[in-house]
Structure 1
C-alpha cells in the first residue's frame, strides 16, 4: 500500500522541485536571450526602412547586399555557436574549470577572426556574382560597395555571438541584451548621419549604411569585452589572458564542431530563400505577399530561438555533469517553453490574419487588394507550422548542447531538401494550390524536421542509451 506521506504537500513540493528549478534556470538565461534576438532582428528592419528612403533601386541593392553578406555570416555562425556546448559542458563537469572554458572562447574568437576576413575576399566580386544571378546591372553596381562596407563588421558580429554564448553559460545573459539595445540605437543614429549626410557628415548612402553597421558591430563587441573584464564572475575566467597564444587542438575542435552547424543553418536559410524564388516564378504579387508573411513568421520565431539557445546551454551543463535525467529534463523544458512562446504569436496570427496583414499594407489602397488577400491566405499556414518550428529548433539546439551535430545536419538536409522543397515546388508550380502550396511545402519540411530531430533527441537520451 502507498503511504499517505507520499501525497503530502512537502512530498509533492520535493518531487516537483527539479522541474521548477529547471524552469527558472531556463527563464533566467532564456528570456534575456529571447529579447536579444527580437531586438537584433529589428536592426534589419531599421536598415531597410532608412535605406528605402533613398528609392526603390537603392532598396533593392540593399536587400541584395544583405543576402550576399549573410551567406558568410551564416557560414561563420557554426564556429561561433559551437563554443556554447563546449563551454557549458566544461562548466557542467567542473564549474571551477575556467581554463577549459577560456580555451574554447579564445579559439572560437580565433576561428571567426581568421576565417571571416579571408572568406570575405570573395565580396570583391559581389557585382559579378549578382550579375550571374540575373540581377539588374544598376542594382548589382550599388550592392558591391555596400557589401564591402559591411565586411569589416563581420568578425565583430560573430565575436558577439561567441561572447554572448559564454555569458549565457555563466548566467550573465542580460548584458548582451543591454549591449544590443545600445548598438541598435547607435546604428540608427549612424545611419541617419552617414546615409543622408546630416549634421555635416558626408552623404554616403548605401556605403554609409554599411559603415554604420560595421561600426555598431565593433562597438558591441568591445562593449562585451569591457563588461567581461569588469564583471566579477566573468572576470575570473580571464578570457583574454595570453589571447594571442595559439591553441591549435582547441582551434580545430571548434572548427570541427562548427562546420556541421553552419551547414545545418544554411539548409534552413536556403530553403526560405528558395521558396522566395518559387514565389517569383508564380508572380510578383505572390512574391511580395510571401515577404510580408515570412517577416511575421520570422518575428514569431525570435522568442523560441532565444529560448532554445538557452536550452542548449542548460543541456550542455547537464551533459557535462553526466546527469542524464537532467539532460532529458532540460531538453523537454526547452521544447515546452519554445512551444509556449511561439503560440503567443501564432494564435493571434491565426485568429486575426486580416489585422496582421493591415500592419504591413494599407487596406484602403485598392492596389494592395491582391497582395493583402494572399497574405491573409498565407498567415494561417505560417501560424500552423509555428508549432513544428518551435519543436525542431528546440530539439536541434538541445542536440547541439550534446555536441551531436553531424547526424542532425543530415536529418535537417533530408527534411528540408528531400521532403519539404520538392513538395513546395510541386504544389506551387504544378498544382492549383499555387502560392499557398509553397507554404504547405514549408510546413511539411518543418514537420519532418520536428519529427526527425525530436526522434534523434529521444534516441540518444533514452534510459538505455
Structure 2
C-alpha cells in the first residue's frame, strides 16, 4: 500500500477531491502554525518597545543579524521534508530511510548552528561596520548572544515539524507553537521587566526567553514523537548518537540551495527597507506597515505550499506522475485562493486596513496613512504572484529540484526586481511607489519562471 492510498479520504471520491482533502488535512494546521509563529516576533517587538526607542532599534538590528544564520539553517532543516515524503510515498511502512534522514537533519543543524554562531561574538563590530550607532550596536550584541542558544532548537523544530507533516500528524506542531508563544510572552514579562522577583534583564531577558521557548518547543515535539502511536514506530531517537555520514552529506547537498533561495527573497525585502530609508522616514514607516500586511497574508499560503511539497514528494516516491501534477496544481490553486481571502479586502479597503496599525484621528499619522493606503493595492496585486511562486517553489522542492529554482529565484529578485525597484524608487518621480512596483516585478518574474520550471519537470 502506498502513502497516497493511506491518505485517500474515501474511495468513492474522485482524485481531485481526494487531493484537496489530503492537502487540507496537513495544509491547514501548517498554515495556522505559520500564522502563530509570525506573531512571536510581533509580541517581542511590542514588549521590547516598552523599554524605549534605543532598545527597540537594537532588537530590530539584532533580529536581522540573527536571521542570517536562521535562514542558512532553514535549508538543511527543510531538505528533510522531500527526503521523508518520497521515502514514504514509495513505501508507507518504510521507517529506516525516514529515520536516517530526520536524524541526520537534526545532526546537521545541531552541529552546524553552534559553530556558525561563533561569528556573533563579533556582532557589535559587524554592526559598527554597517554604520549603526555605537550605543545601538552595543545593545544588540548581548541580545543576539542570548538568542543563539535557541537557534539549533528552532531549526530542530522545523525538521520534526516536516517529519510530522509527512506522516499526517501536522496538528501537534500547531499546538506546541501556540503553547511556546504563550510561554515566550510570559518569560518576556518576567525577564525583560524583572517582574515577580526575577532579575530585570531587558534585551538579554528577551533573548533568553526566546531561546528557552525554542528549546521547550523542541523537546515537547520529541516527547510527542516518542509517545504518539504512528510517530514512535520510526524510533527517531533510538541510538541517536549513531553517525550516518552519507545521509548527512545528502541532507547538506539538498539543503544549501534551499538556504540560498530563501536568502535571496529575504534579502530583497530587507534591501527595500534601505531604499525606502533613502526616500524618507514616513516612507520607511509606511513600508513596514504594508509589508507586515503582505507577510500576514502570506502565512497561510506558505503553510499550504509546504503541505503541497509533502504531497508532491509522496506522489513522486510512489512513481505516480499524474498524482505529482495533480498535487502541484492543487497546491498552487489553494495557495492562490487562501491569499486572495486577504488580498481582495486589502485592495478594496486599504485605508481601513491601514487604520488597524495607525490611529486615523492623529494628525501626525496622516502622511504615513496616505502612503500605506497607496502601497496596499500594489501589495495585494503582488500577493497573487507571491502565492504562485511559493507554491511552485515548494512543489519543486518536493521533487528535490532545488538548484535550478535557486538560480531562477536569484535572477527574478536581484537581476530583475531589485534594479527596477532601485531605479523607479530613487531615479523617477514614482519614488516609494516605484519600489513597490519593483517588488511586484520580482514576484511576477519568480511566479512565471518557477511555474514554467514546474510545468517542464512534471509534463509527460
> Following the alignment from structure 1 to structure 2, what is the Cα–Cα distance between the partners of residues 217 and 331?
32
Shift of 1:310: 0.2
Shift of 1:346: 0.2
Whether 1:139 aligns to 2:130 is no
Whether 1:461 aligns to 2:434 is no
Which of 308, 312, 321 does residue 309 from structure 2 map onto?
A: 312
| Map of 1:42 onto structure 2 | 39
> Following the alignment from structure 1 to structure 2, what is the Cα–Cα distance between the partners of residues 184 and 274?
29
CA-based RMSD of the aligned residues comes to 0.9
Which of 400, 417, 421 does residue 397 from structure 2 map onto?
A: 400
> Following the alignment from structure 1 to structure 2, what is the Cα–Cα distance between the partners of residues 158 and 365?
42
Give unmatched runs, 5+ long, in structure 1: 1-12
| 1:406-445, Cα deviation, whole Å (9 max, x unpaired) | 0000000000000000000000000010000000000000
| Map of 1:9 onto structure 2 | none
Whether 1:389 aligns to 2:386 is yes
Using structure 2 for the length normalisation, give the TM-score.
0.97
Whether 1:185 aligns to 2:182 is yes
Which of 93, 97, 103 does residue 96 from structure 1 map onto?
A: 93
Whether 1:125 aligns to 2:122 is yes
User: Stretches of 4+ moved more than 2 A in 1?
Assistant: 13-16
Task: Look up the SS of the partner of 2:356 in the other structure.
Answer: helix
| 1:244-279, Cα deviation, whole Å (9 max, x unpaired) | 111000000000000000000000000000111000
> Following the alignment from structure 1 to structure 2, what is the Cα–Cα distance between the partners of residues 146 and 246?
34
Count of residue pairs brought into register by the alignment: 451
| Map of 1:291 onto structure 2 | 288
| Map of 2:299 onto structure 1 | 302
> Following the alignment from structure 1 to structure 2, what is the Cα–Cα distance between the partners of residues 400 and 47?
32
Whether 1:380 aligns to 2:377 is yes
Shift of 1:241: 1.3
> Following the alignment from structure 1 to structure 2, what is the Cα–Cα distance between the partners of residues 136 and 346?
38
Whether 1:265 aligns to 2:262 is yes
Which of 37, 56, 59 does residue 59 from structure 1 map onto?
A: 56
After superposition, residues 74-113 of structure 1 pair within 5 angstroms as: 74-113=71-110
> Following the alignment from structure 2 to structure 1, what is the Cα–Cα distance between the partners of residues 63 and 353?
26
Shift of 1:96: 1.0
| 1:286-330, Cα deviation, whole Å (9 max, x unpaired) | 001000000000000000000000000000000000000000000
> Following the alignment from structure 1 to structure 2, what is the Cα–Cα distance between the partners of residues 20 and 257?
32
Q: Which deviates the most, 39-48 or 15-24? A: 15-24
Give unmatched runs, 5+ long, in structure 2: 1-9
Task: Look up the SS of the partner of 2:259 in the other structure.
Answer: helix
> Following the alignment from structure 1 to structure 2, what is the Cα–Cα distance between the partners of residues 364 and 141?
37
Shift of 1:16: 6.4
Shift of 1:15: 9.6
Task: Look up the SS of the partner of 1:360 in the other structure.
Answer: coil
Using structure 1 for the length normalisation, give the TM-score.
0.96
> Following the alignment from structure 2 to structure 1, what is the Cα–Cα distance between the partners of residues 308 and 37?
19
| Map of 1:204 onto structure 2 | 201
Which of 245, 249, 265 does residue 248 from structure 1 map onto?
A: 245
| 1:95-143, Cα deviation, whole Å (9 max, x unpaired) | 1110000000000000000000000000010000011111111110000
